[in-house]
Amino acid sequence: MPAVQTALVIGGGIAGPVTATALAIAGIDAAIYEARPSDPASANGIGGSLALEPNGLAALRIVGADDRVRAAGIPITRSLMSITSKPGREMPTPQGLPPRQLIDRGSLHSILRERARQSGVRIHNAKKLIRVDEHVDGVTAHFADGSSASGDVLIGADGVHSAVRRLIDPDAPGARYLGLLGFEGLVDDGPDTADLEPGTMTFAFGRRAYYLYWKRPDGRIGWGANLPSPQHLSLKEARAVAAEDWQRTLRGAYADDIPGARLAAETTGDTLQAVGGLHIMPPVPHWHRGRMVLVGDAVHAPSNSTGQGASLAMESAIQLARCLRDLPDVAPAFTAYERLRRPRVVKIAERGARISHAKAPGPVAQRMMRLLLPLMVKTMNLEKTMGAEQRYIIDWDADVQEDASALA
Ligand SMILES: Cc1cc2nc3c(=O)[nH]c(=O)nc-3n(C[C@H](O)[C@H](O)[C@H](O)COP(=O)(O)OP(=O)(O)OC[C@H]3O[C@@H](n4cnc5c(N)ncnc54)[C@H](O)[C@@H]3O)c2cc1C
């Protein structure tokens, strides 16, 4: 029987429901406490799309959610890179892996929450964690509505601006703003995208800003913009700006790009979604303390350029549940979890930092990047970088106590 019987999971985004479901499968009673007032598929969700890599889908298989994600997603079967409107060049991908899946964030949240509930996890909305009392044999979480809950451990799956991270270590670093604001839009097909097959995604380095676009099975074009902006805006602040103002800004930023100019021009206020500032997490010195531990973006948010944030969150969720299942006490379980995860997430974060630099560099660096990026892709050891990231599969049935890398 696991040393831990009950877990409080703070945050019901991606890492939270996957962790709670994996814990339930491992025989640990888990409840999720989410600050948002209702399930995120509703209008207050942050919206936009997410690409899940084969390693993320492999992690979801363990909690029985991968098929549902595939059924709701768009398989991305081809990737191109385009620099300053030149025709997209084929981007190599590791061979023999299933395609990444692009899924609406609200749909993903719904699938993960439904799966958690089916596994016996209780989900409490409108529970914003504000304080924690630690006892010798447990933790009590206090919420903004005056209620509280107690458990053997508390898991901070509360995202890049994590409150649990500061409760573990008041000196923990905060999220770093990348100098980019995120947007997503949807337009009809046009002459400049007509040749693309559904399932093709193009990563485009425009004259002034980076963007990406993909053809959907219905023929329409989804696109995401990374707009350089020295001023940081939260999701709420970005949404408070009138859609027409954002439309004007995006039209200016992509005016000289093909098809960026058309994508920006044809995006209407109805389909434009602002997602606010993009962040990364610098290395977090303390992943856990006492009976509290971090998972997902709260402890390792790589740049969105890696396409790995959500997939890594899912992997960490599974590994944390395995450690709590197999190790005799909380401290060795958290230590093993960090050992299993830290080297991998650090490596991926470092790759992401290099790409992010290419998205918002100064004018001189931008010219250099245009010259160097194709060369970087051409000379990249694909199997060593992307292969290692995407082929990662967790052996859920293997006992962590027999895994040397966890116990070293
Ligand atoms: C524009 C954009 C595009 C992205 N694209 C991709 C992509 O294509 N592929 C990819 O893999 N990743 C992508 N990411 C990264 C991805 O969104 C994150 O890595 C992922 O959401 C991390 O999941 P999480 O559960 O750790 O955190 P979150 O999804 O942020 O969930 C945290 C949850 O905790 C809740 N919470 C916060 N504070 C409290 C509190 N005090 N009490 C209770 N609850 C609280 C929040 O409301 C939220 O529901 C993108 C990110 C952005 C911003």
Mean pLDDT lowest among 56-65, 296-305, 353-362? 353-362
Q: Is the predicted pLDDT of residue 43 greater than 50, yes or no? A: no
212 strand-pairing partners: 203, 224
Residue minimizing CA distance to atom 23 of ligand 1: 14
How high does pLDDT run on average in the chain? 92
Instruction: Taking residues 265-277, report their average pLDDT.
Output: 94
Give the model's pLDDT for residue 84: 78
Q: Is the predicted pLDDT of residue 382 greater than 90, yes or no? A: no
- Closest atom of ligand 1 to CA, residue 308: 11
Mean pLDDT lowest among 42-51, 159-168, 384-393? 42-51
192 strand-pairing partners: none
Residue minimizing CA distance to atom 5 of ligand 1: 50
pLDDT digits (tens, 9 = 90+) for 84-110: 777 788 888 888 999 999 999 999 999
pTM of the model: 0.94
Residue minimizing CA distance to atom 53 of ligand 1: 278
pLDDT digits (tens, 9 = 90+) for 11-39: 999 999 999 999 999 999 999 999 999 86
Residue minimizing CA distance to atom 30 of ligand 1: 159
- Closest atom of ligand 1 to CA, residue 12: 49
Q: Is the CB of 12 under 6 A from ligand 1?
A: yes
Mean pLDDT lowest among 196-205, 255-264, 318-327, 373-382? 373-382
Give the model's pLDDT for residue 364: 62
- Closest atom of ligand 1 to CA, residue 182: 1
Q: Closest Cα partner for 148 from 168, 178, 118, 128?
A: 128
Instruction: Taking residues 250-275, report their average pLDDT.
Output: 96
Give the model's pLDDT for residue 105: 93
Q: Which residues contact 13 (CB under 8 A, 6 or more apart)?
A: 34, 40, 109, 157, 159, 296, 297
The answer to whether 260 touches 131, Cβ cutoff 8 Å, is no
The answer to whether 24 touches 121, Cβ cutoff 8 Å, is yes
Give the model's pLDDT for residue 377: 67
**Ligand 1 geometric centre to CA of 33 (Å):** 15
Q: Is the predicted pLDDT of residue 47 greater than 70, yes or no? A: yes
- Residue of 9, 10, 14 best suited for mutating to test ligand 1, as the one with most atoms within 8 Å of CB: 14
Q: Is the CB of 128 under 6 A from ligand 1?
A: yes
Q: Is the CB of 158 under 6 A from ligand 1?
A: yes
pLDDT digits (tens, 9 = 90+) for 318-364: 999 999 999 999 999 999 999 999 999 999 998 887 766 666 555 66
- Closest atom of ligand 1 to CA, residue 301: 19
Give the model's pLDDT for residue 356: 60
317/159 Cα distance (integer angstroms): 13
Instruction: Taking residues 191-207, report their average pLDDT.
Output: 95
Give the model's pLDDT for residue 88: 83
Q: Is the CB of 308 under 6 A from ligand 1?
A: yes
Q: Is the predicted pLDDT of residue 2 greater than 90, yes or no? A: no
Instruction: Taking residues 220-242, report their average pLDDT.
Output: 95
Work out the pLDDT band at 383, boundaries 50, 70, 90: confident
Half-sphere exposure of 208 (CA within 13 A, CB side): 14
Q: Is the CB of 20 under 6 A from ligand 1?
A: no
DSSP 306: G
Q: Which residue has the higher pLDDT, 359 or 140?
A: 140
What are 201's two structure tokens? 């995604």
- Closest atom of ligand 1 to CA, residue 53: 11
Q: Is the predicted pLDDT of residue 46 greater than 70, yes or no? A: no
End-to-end CA distance of the chain: 24
Instruction: Taking residues 45-53, report their average pLDDT.
Output: 85
